[in-house]
Structure 1
Amino acid sequence: MECRMLDITLISAKGLKKASLIGKMDVYAVAYISGPDKSQKLKTHVDKDGGSDPSWNFPMKFTVDEATGLQNRLTLVVEIKHEGTFGDKEVGEAHVPIKELLEGVTKEGKSEQVVSYQVRTPSGKPKGNLKFSYKFGEKFVETVPAYPVGMAVGSSSGYQQPYAAGGGYYPPPAGYAPQPQPGYAYPQQQPGYGYPPPPPPGGYPTQPGYGYPPVQQPQQPPKKSGLGMGLGAGLLGGALGGLLIADIASDAASGCGGGCGGGCGGF
């Protein structure tokens, strides 16, 4: 865009409204150009002796976009204030359209102009006048540095999450890995924060009741005592012995009866 340097010298002010009824005013002025950019704010020194008629003769420089100024979208604002012990107090303001300054230089054909504008109190009433001189420099083209779409300006290294259209962020490019910055101490991973601590040598111990139930061991049948086994064997042996004795006795009785009967019949 085509710009011009605006040189202004705030000369003086006359007939300002008194900020206090007692004592003199310590008056200074703050000037800036209203519009898209209000970053150019300049302040004069404080006149402690002028009272309602301060003088500064203070030079200032501003960069003006000529096309925007000719569209009557820029205004030179001069705020006049009193420096007080308990805080500064507004005395008045002067508003000067940049379009009028540009046209004044063109019509008059002069490199420098001295003008006077009305000062209005905070309530809007006219009170006093502001006197200043101005001139414009030659036109020049102010270039804006071009950055990749979405890339954060001022990046020292690496990728910085560019803004996406409509809010949010674009994902980082494939294969991107953040580079460590020299002199920056990266925090160490703490157990319980973000990631679990590394396992101890040999692995984690298995705790009953954590994650999976403990393995049940098969139960062994109770061992029988020798006394019980002996008693059982003795009882079994006694029963068998009794049966054998009874059979022998029965056989003997049968044999004796047959023999005796045959013998007696022969006599």
Structure 2
Amino acid sequence: MECRTLDINIKRAYGLKNVNLFSTMDVYAVVSISGDPRGKSKQRTPVAKDSGSDPYWNYPMKFTIDEAAAQSNRLNLKIKFVSSRSLGDRKIGKVVVPIKRLLDESAKGDEGKSERTLTFSVRTLSGKEKGTVEFSYKFGEKYTVQAPPPPPPIMKSSEPVTAYPLGYPGSSSGYAAGGAHPPPAGTAYAYPPPQQGYGYPPPPQAGYGYGGYPPPQQGHGYAPYKPQRPQRSGMGGMALGAGAGLLGGLLIGDMISDVGDSMAYDADFGDGFDF
């Protein structure tokens, strides 16, 4: 890809349309190259304070253009004039110049080595000519730029994925071609069943449910259960009744104390406490 530099100096504009009602315009220019296959490039001048309709900048810029796109008249130089305002900037007008025209004008001189100055009319948003812009430009020597490689293709989710059966080259299974056969259909596991002696506990014996352990039987360390009849005693009944009454009184007292503490806690923080 052949490219070359383009040096532009936005010197001044005069006779621009006044888009401010009560204040003097502060004008700046936005310069861009459109139509470049590498993307649009853009630069801007400083704001000419209190310049009104005749701003002055004398501001240099540098762009890089594609030679083939310029020669085929696909590139344009755009200069837009804007009034800077605190309540929102407002457009004044613009100039559009084909880069091919600048190349042809430059070729009329000493093979484009010297700087040339041109003036163009500014068109308002309604398309009327109002004002003039003056700028100078100069093209640099052509040079070759290696185009970046294209990005790798992205596989779509709808594209089929190649799968191999078990036992064939390229398969991810653990069976080699011509070797051991895959497990028969209906098998619920993909690996050989665990065997005793390799860190696995022995399987539970059948007939003992889910626990895996037989129920206790008499004669194997468990004593048979024999219910005993409680003995009656008059003194014991009285003691038990007195103890129950004492315990109930203590519980009721604790409950009354807890209720009192809770009411005091609510009274300190008031209703609607934000947690």
Contact kept in structure 1, 2:34 and 2:41, CA below 8 Å: no
* Displacement after TM superposition at 1:38 (Å): 4.1
* Displacement after TM superposition at 1:16 (Å): 0.8
The answer as to 2:128 corresponding to 1:125 is yes
How is 1:45-194 mapped onto 2 (pairs within 5 angstroms)? 45-109=46-110, 110=112, 111-146=114-149, 149=152, 163-164=154-155
CA distance in 2, matches of 1:168, 1:101: 50
Report what 1:159 is aligned to: none
Report what 1:7 is aligned to: 7
CA distance in 2, matches of 1:17, 1:57: 20
Name whichever of 141-150 and 125-134 sits farther off: 141-150
Change (3 A) 1:148 1:43: closer
Larger radius of gyration: 1
SS at match of 1:108: coil
> Partner amino acid for 2:105?
G
Residue-pair matches, total: 172
SS at match of 2:107: helix
CA distance in 1, matches of 2:80, 2:29: 5
SS at match of 1:138: coil
Residue-by-residue CA offset, 1:21-46 (whole Å, 9 max, x unaligned): 21110000111101134452111111
* Displacement after TM superposition at 1:213 (Å): 4.2
CA distance in 2, matches of 1:168, 1:5: 45
SS at match of 1:102: helix
SS at match of 1:115: strand
SS at match of 2:103: helix
SS at match of 2:108: helix
Residue-by-residue CA offset, 1:152-206 (whole Å, 9 max, x unaligned): xxxxxxxxxxx34x6799x9xxxxxxxxxxxxxxxxxxxxxxxxxxxxxxx9xxx
CA distance in 2, matches of 1:115, 1:168: 57
CA distance in 2, matches of 1:85, 1:148: 44
Change (3 A) 1:108 1:27: same
Residue-by-residue CA offset, 1:111-144 (whole Å, 9 max, x unaligned): 2211112212223322211111111011111223
Contact kept in structure 2, 1:32 and 1:38, CA below 8 Å: no
Change (3 A) 1:145 1:18: same
Report what 2:27 is aligned to: 27
> Partner amino acid for 1:15?
G
CA distance in 1, matches of 2:215, 2:125: 97
Contact kept in structure 1, 2:34 and 2:40, CA below 8 Å: no
> Partner amino acid for 2:52?
G
Residue-by-residue CA offset, 1:201-243 (whole Å, 9 max, x unaligned): xx9xxxxxxxx9445845869x8x9xxxxxxxxxxxxxxxxxx
SS at match of 1:123: coil
Q: Percent identity?
A: 45
Q: TM-score, normalised by structure 1?
A: 0.56
SS at match of 1:20: coil
Contact kept in structure 1, 2:16 and 2:131, CA below 8 Å: yes
* Displacement after TM superposition at 1:13 (Å): 0.9
- Note the residue ranges of structure 2 that are not aligned, 5 or more in a row: 162-200, 202-208, 219-223, 227-275
CA distance in 1, matches of 2:157, 2:116: 49
> Partner amino acid for 2:75?
L
CA distance in 1, matches of 2:82, 2:58: 16
